[in-house]
């Protein structure tokens, strides 16, 4: 499938006042932010992890990156697979008593990739995330009943 731009034909005699916004722009920008910054913020909240005493060993988060996806979008769809990229995370294990450390890269799993159209391919099927507005709760009324009296 190609990602050709669709030419817009305007049949109106009045030119539009505002450009038509992209409806998937929110989804793609949110996903891009999560991949670039959000995941790092999340991992930074969890790490470092210390041992029970907090004095001997510590596991520190250093960095992460995505490898190239194994299959393209079209190939993932044909194989009934998921369009994903391997997520690799770099850690450092520090042993405080000996002042030694060891850096290691860990495979964290397949990370689903968003297509330029704002959807995901899971098990060969396109899946879209649907944004929903959740109505905030209003006022709650309670009633206390003591010995059949309000």
In a domain, 140, yes or no: no
Distance CA 35, CA 114 (A): 10
Whether residue 36 lies inside any domain: the answer is yes
Distance CA 18, CA 42 (A): 37
Please list, in sequence order, all residues whose beta carbon lies within 8 angstroms of the beta carbon of residue 16, skipping any fewer than 6 positions away: 10
Rounded Cα distance between 4 and 9, Å, is: 15
127-145 pLDDT, tens per residue?
988 777 666 676 676 777 7
Q: What angle do CA 77, 81, 68 make, to 5 degrees?
A: 95
Dihedral, 67, 72, 78, 82 alpha carbons, nearest 10: 40
Q: Has residue 9 been placed in a domain? A: no
Mean pLDDT, rounded, of the chain: 87
**Domain count of the chain?**
1
Distance separating alpha carbons of residues 119 and 107, to the nearest angstrom: 24
Q: Mean pLDDT throughout 112-138? A: 85
Does any domain span residue 60?
yes
Q: Which of 81, 101, 100 is nearest to 91 (CA)?
A: 101
What is each CA distance from 123 to 80, 81, 127, in whole angstroms?
5, 4, 10
Domain containing residue 79: 25-128
Q: Give residue 105's pLDDT.
A: 96
Q: What is the pLDDT of residues 50-102, one digit of tens each?
A: 988 888 999 999 999 999 999 999 999 999 999 999 999 999 999 999 999 99
Quick check: 1 pLDDT over 50? no
pTM: 0.71
13-51: per-residue pLDDT in tens? 887 777 777 888 888 999 999 999 999 999 999 999 998
Q: Is residue 83 part of a domain?
A: yes
Residue 30 lies in a domain: yes
The answer to whether position 145 is within a domain reads no
């Amino acid at each position: 499938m190609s990602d050709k731009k669709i030419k817009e034909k305007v049949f109106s005699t009045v030119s539009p006042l505002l450009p038509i916004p992209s409806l998937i722009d929110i989804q793609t920008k949110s996903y891009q932010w999560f991949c670039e910054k959000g995941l790092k913020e999340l991992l930074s909240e969890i790490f470092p992890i210390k041992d029970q005493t907090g004095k001997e060993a510590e596991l520190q988060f250093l960095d992460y990156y995505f490898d190239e996806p194994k299959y393209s979008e079209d190939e993932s769809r044909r194989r009934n697979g998921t369009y994903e990229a391997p997520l690799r995370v770099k850690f450092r294990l520090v042993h405080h008593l000996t002042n030694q450390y060891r850096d290691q890269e860990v495979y964290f799993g397949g990370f689903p990739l968003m297509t330029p159209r704002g959807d995901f391919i899971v098990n060969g099927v396109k899946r879209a995330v649907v944004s929903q507005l959740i109505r905030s709760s209003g006022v709650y009324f309670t009633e206390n009943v003591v010995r059949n009296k309000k």
